[in-house]
């Protein structure tokens, strides 16, 4: 039983990060209607930016997080400004944008390997991991950091989307972008802001996962973007909160399943969950019983 409890704690940790990543991914999707696969590349790059500041330059953990967030926000918004916006202006179909985004993911992945090498590197604060024990359950300081960050960000984002004008504007634009413009909202700027916020979240997540696992490599973004996609779909498309819920559920199931299923089946298991959810709840676990707007 205590083993299961331990897996559940691991599940909360993984689920929290998946929730953050899926949330950023869904925010970008909601605002721009782009299936932003390159998000995985932004994730990888920000982890390596954090690594450079923390391990290579030894500037400390706070500077490393800042570097990861700023890098992610910058790369994310640049991809929007230089790729998606011109495509949108040119009337390119969302499908083409999706494939281009996938191309950017591949380019970033390979460039990361060119700059930082193709071997995994260790992301840690120099072996200073503290382990906490609660009865039979163990957690590390990195795991506590993850849960803490997630709780704080969840509250901050809830306030942002529910009670701040900028958040309401982004929700409005995700709902009906043409109407948003007629009402007087600067749609382009709002999309850029969504990319900044969504990418910033993935920058934080990359650092959290990197510190938790202890190693990062150039390929890390490919798997995570698949997880974010699965999370967003099982949660419910077009709803930021539902995507976060989907991420949390996915992380929980993945980790509890390790109790009975070998971890190498995690990816297959995730897609099995996706298929089962879609069979029984076509609109996702937390989605409305109606097609997502604009799809």
Partner 1 sequence: MASADTILRLEALSKSFGGLQAVRDLSFDVNAGTITSLIGGNGAGKTTAFNLITGNLVPDSGHIYLRDARVDGLPPHKVARAGIARGFQELRLFNRLSARDNVEAAIPNLRGESIIRALIGGRELMDERNAADARANALLDDLTIASQADSLAERLSYGQQKLLSLGRLLAAEGELLLLDEPTSGLSPGMVDDFCTRMRRLTGNGKTILLIEHNVDIVMRLSDWVVVMHQGTKIAEGRPEEVRNNVTVMHTYLGITS
> Which residue, 186, 266, 284, 181, is CA-closest to 7?
266
Question: Quick one: tokens of 58?
Answer: 């030894």
Q: Kindly calculate the radius of gyration of the chain based on its CA atoms and give it in whole angstroms.
A: 19
Comparison of 193 and 228: residue with beta carbon closer to partner 1: 193
Does the protein bind partner 1 through residue 293 (CB under 8 A)? yes
Does the protein bind partner 1 through residue 158 (CB under 8 A)? no
Does the protein bind partner 1 through residue 171 (CB under 8 A)? yes
Q: Tell me the closest approach of the beta carbon of residue 196 to partner 1, in angstroms.
A: 7
**Binding partner 1 by CB under 8 A: which of 151, 168, 213, 261?**
168
The helices-and-strands tally (H runs, E runs) of the chain is: 12, 4
Select the span of 16-24, 100-108, 111-119, 164-172 touching partner 1 (CB under 8 A): 164-172
Does the protein bind partner 1 through residue 91 (CB under 8 A)? no
> Helix 187-213 to helix 39-51 angle, to the nearest 10 degrees?
50
Does the protein bind partner 1 through residue 81 (CB under 8 A)? no
Q: Tell me the closest approach of the beta carbon of residue 5 to partner 1, in angstroms.
A: 38
Q: How far apart are the C-alpha atoms of 104 and 67, rounded to whole Å? A: 21
Backbone angles phi, psi at 131, to 5 degrees: -105, 130
Comparison of 128 and 290: residue with beta carbon closer to partner 1: 290
Comparison of 125 and 171: residue with beta carbon closer to partner 1: 171
Question: Quick one: tokens of 43?
Answer: 């994730």
Does the protein bind partner 1 through residue 164 (CB under 8 A)? yes
Half-sphere exposure of 231 (CA within 13 A, CB side): 35
Q: Tell me the closest approach of the beta carbon of residue 151 to partner 1, in angstroms.
A: 19
User: How far is Cα of residue 114 from the mean position of the Cα atoms in its chain?
Assistant: 24
State the residues that interact with partner 1 by CB under 8 A. 160, 163-166, 168-169, 171-172, 175-176, 179-187, 193, 196-197, 293
């Amino acid at each position: 039983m205590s083993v299961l409890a331990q897996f559940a704690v691991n599940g909360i940790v993984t689920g929290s990060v998946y929730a953050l990543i899926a949330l950023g991914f869904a925010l970008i999707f909601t605002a721009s209607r782009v299936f932003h696969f390159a998000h995985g590349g932004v994730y990888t790059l920000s982890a390596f930016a954090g690594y450079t500041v923390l391990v290579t330059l030894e500037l400390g953990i706070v500077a490393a997080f800042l570097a990861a967030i700023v890098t992610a926000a910058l790369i994310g918004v640049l991809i929007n400004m230089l790729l998606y916006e011109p495509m949108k202006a040119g009337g390119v179909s969302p499908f083409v944008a999706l494939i281009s985004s996938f191309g950017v993911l591949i380019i970033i992945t390979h460039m990361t390997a060119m700059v930082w090498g193709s071997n995994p590197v260790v992301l840690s604060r120099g072996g200073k991991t503290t382990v906490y024990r609660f009865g039979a359950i163990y957690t590390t300081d990195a795991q506590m950091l993850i849960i803490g960050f997630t709780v704080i960000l969840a509250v901050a984002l809830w306030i942002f989307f529910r009670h701040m004008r900028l958040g309401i504007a982004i929700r409005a634009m995700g709902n009906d972008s043409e109407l948003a413009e007629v009402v007087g909202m600067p749609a382009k700027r709002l999309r850029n802001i969504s990319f900044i916020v969504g990418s910033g979240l993935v920058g934080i997540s990359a650092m959290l996962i990197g510190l938790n696992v202890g190693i990062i490599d150039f390929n890390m973004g490919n798997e995570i973007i698949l997880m974010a996609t699965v999370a967003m779909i099982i949660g419910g498309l077009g709803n930021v909160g539902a995507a976060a819920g989907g991420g949390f559920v996915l992380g929980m199931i993945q980790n509890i399943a390790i109790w009975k299923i070998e971890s190498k089946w995690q990816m297959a298991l995730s897609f099995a969950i996706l298929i089962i959810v879609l069979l029984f709840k076509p609109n996702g676990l937390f989605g409305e019983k109606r097609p997502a707007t604009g799809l």
